[in-house]
């Protein structure tokens, strides 16, 4: 299965998502989006394919969000995309594309929606069980 992850190795959710992909037997193309941000068109494609709005794909927890006034609801998609492209840290992560679809994998187990069935136990790096010993999703 072909897969691409827009990854930030400093992010636990992104690391867990990458681990889940590999646990499922999928070796994705890893794009460290802070070093190699997507183009405007590509970012728009990812957001749309994941069923999100542009505002839903922006990281509100980053200091630049408030510093740039991005909490202003009057700002349109173009202004938000401009900010995300100028400051890639504002892009929610990780976006994952597989042959089965595109998701913003927050929480990391959302990626299971676009992977072949996984039944082997999996635990996140913080100890949270995602797939239990009986092969069932814990949540």
The residues assigned a catalytic role are 11
Kindly calculate the radius of gyration of the chain based on its CA atoms and give it in whole angstroms: 16
31 conformational bin, left if phi > 0, alpha if psi -120 to 50, beta if neither: beta
Euclidean distance between CA atoms 79 and 71, whole angstroms: 12
Torsions phi, psi for 10 (to 5 deg): -85, -5
Kindly give, in sequence order, each residue whose CB lies less than 8 Å from that of residue 133, ignoring residues fewer than 6 positions away.
121
């Amino acid at each position: 299965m072909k897969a691409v992850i827009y990854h930030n190795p400093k992010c636990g959710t992104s690391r867990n998502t990458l681990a889940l992909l590999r646990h499922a037997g999928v070796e994705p193309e890893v794009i460290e989006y802070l070093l190699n941000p997507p183009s405007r068109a590509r970012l728009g494609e990812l957001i749309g394919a994941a069923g999100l709005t542009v505002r839903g794909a922006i990281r509100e927890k980053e200091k630049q969000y408030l510093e740039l006034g991005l909490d202003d609801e009057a700002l349109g998609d173009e202004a938000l995309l401009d900010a995300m492209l100028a400051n890639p840290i504002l892009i929610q992560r990780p976006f994952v594309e597989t042959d089965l679809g595109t998701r913003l994998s927050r929480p990391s187990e959302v990626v299971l929606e676009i992977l072949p069935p996984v039944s082997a136990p999996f635990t996140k790096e913080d100890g949270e069980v995602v797939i239990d010993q009986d092969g069932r999703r814990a949540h």
